[in-house]
A = this chain, B = another copy of it.
């Protein structure tokens, strides 16, 4: 077991074991790991479903266990506004509130707050923003973000950062946001005290290789429990994202801490980022596209709005273990979607989250068996020859 670098293992709320390090031949930076948290263990690489309002949309905790969710993400910004972090704390914390016994990671609110556009202003001390619910004015600082996350009682908290959209930002803006993110990281670190909660730092630096490298070194120099790679999974291309990861991850090669790429969710993107050395992911993508009628299968994706599914008596995916595929046909799901029936949203979400969970399990199996590069090649050849409505996501 590897400890977390700068702090003694025994005092940390989170430990990370690299069970299978990246091979020395450089064929991949992918690695197999095991994360220990106060609410249980997580096998990595892992995908975290998103439970914005203390619920993964349309799922209950039993559904999440059934799809194979090991850990979920909840949004600090949303829970701060409604029902309020102090209320959740009074009610016994976020785990008890939503009846989820497994680990929870909370984001910092930075992404949500900064993405409000005209409804916010950022300064060195923090962010002032208008609530998307009622227009009321609020202010997030690094200190408040940590306090909110401590009140929620997540297993893993994350520093407040200032992400910037790569394509809409000048080098000067990227640099300024990076410097501010570093300053906020130090402030978060200095006020975070909850002993049963880990704290992750966030690397920024956009698509500028030197800034990305500088930010990686800076964040890695601090005694965080894990390293988030922020400011990606936005409007950059897959190649640009890979270039940024190829700058950041090698600088963390000897760093024993988990690496978390925020906001990525399509199977092809997940596979590439695992190959680049990432351990943790989150995204609303699988569940959001599911609710819109797009279901992921090994051959690509099915759009249930297509009329050809109305008479299709096959399950979404042969052999799939999910609740939708065990009992229902494509025809029934296509009917529920057209009738705007609530059951559709649950069944479709069950399928796509199961698909991603099983995809990550395949990745972990391949890593354990030393055949991850074959899996990457196999998936690439599938992508060149889609037999469905398109590639996953």
| Contact A92:B313 (CB < 8 A) given known A97-B331, A331-B83 | yes
Question: Which residues of chain B are near A331, meaning CB under 8 Å?
Answer: 83, 87, 91, 97
**Which A residues from 3 to 30 make CB contacts under 8 A with B?**
none
The answer to whether B92 touches A58 (Cβ under 8 A) is no
Instruction: With both chains docked as a complex, state the minimum distance between the C-beta of A323 and any C-beta of chain B, in angstroms.
Output: 7
Q: How far is the CA of A289 from the CA of B191 in the complex (A)?
A: 46
| Contact A343:B60 (CB < 8 A) given known A54-B332, A331-B87, A335-B53 | yes
Q: Confirm or deny: A127 has a beta carbon within 8 angstroms of a beta carbon on chain B.
A: no
> CB-defined interface of A311-326 with B at 8 Å, one 1/0 digit per residue?
1010000000001000
Q: How far is the CA of A42 from the CA of B53 in the complex (A)?
A: 40
The answer to whether A97 touches B53 (Cβ under 8 A) is no
Q: List the B residue with the shortest CB-CB distance to A342.
A: B58
Instruction: With both chains docked as a complex, state the minimum distance between the C-beta of A104 and any C-beta of chain B, in angstroms.
Output: 15
Q: Confirm or deny: A369 has a beta carbon within 8 angstroms of a beta carbon on chain B.
A: no
Q: Confirm or deny: A204 has a beta carbon within 8 angstroms of a beta carbon on chain B.
A: no
Partner of A346, one of B91, B311, B338, B342: B342
Q: How far is the CA of A347 from the CA of B345 in the complex (A)?
A: 15
Q: How far is the CA of A82 from the CA of B87 in the complex (A)?
A: 44
Q: How far is the CA of A228 from the CA of B311 in the complex (A)?
A: 34
The answer to whether A346 touches B310 (Cβ under 8 A) is no
Q: Confirm or deny: A218 has a beta carbon within 8 angstroms of a beta carbon on chain B.
A: no
**Which A residues from 331 to 357 make CB contacts under 8 A with B?**
331-332, 334-336, 338-339, 341-343, 345-347
Q: Confirm or deny: A139 has a beta carbon within 8 angstroms of a beta carbon on chain B.
A: no
The answer to whether A98 touches B342 (Cβ under 8 A) is no
Q: List the B residue with the shortest CB-CB distance to A99.
A: B327
> CB-defined interface of A52-76 with B at 8 Å, one 1/0 digit per residue?
0111011111000000000000000
| Contact A60:B347 (CB < 8 A) given known A53-B339, A92-B313 | yes
Q: List the B residue with the shortest CB-CB distance to A332.
A: B97
The answer to whether A327 touches B83 (Cβ under 8 A) is no
Question: Which residues of chain B are near A339, meaning CB under 8 Å?
Answer: 53, 55, 82
Q: Confirm or deny: A371 has a beta carbon within 8 angstroms of a beta carbon on chain B.
A: no
Q: Confirm or deny: A119 has a beta carbon within 8 angstroms of a beta carbon on chain B.
A: no
Q: Confirm or deny: A37 has a beta carbon within 8 angstroms of a beta carbon on chain B.
A: no
The answer to whether B60 touches A346 (Cβ under 8 A) is yes
Instruction: With both chains docked as a complex, state the minimum distance between the C-beta of A2 and any C-beta of chain B, in angstroms.
Output: 36
Partner of A313, one of B91, B341, B345: B91
| Contact A343:B92 (CB < 8 A) given known A99-B327, A331-B83 | no
Partner of A91, one of B87, B327, B329: B329
Q: How far is the CA of A338 from the CA of B87 in the complex (A)?
A: 15
| Contact A87:B53 (CB < 8 A) given known A58-B343, A338-B82, A343-B59 | no
Q: Confirm or deny: A217 has a beta carbon within 8 angstroms of a beta carbon on chain B.
A: no
Instruction: With both chains docked as a complex, state the minimum distance between the C-beta of A133 and any C-beta of chain B, in angstroms.
Output: 9
Q: Which residues of A pack against B, CB within 8 Å?
A: 53-55, 57-61, 82-83, 87, 90-92, 97-99, 310-311, 313, 323, 327-329, 331-332, 334-336, 338-339, 341-343, 345-347
Q: Which 6 A/B pairs are nearest by Cβ-Cβ distance?
A: A99-B327, A58-B342, A53-B339, A83-B335, A55-B343, A55-B341
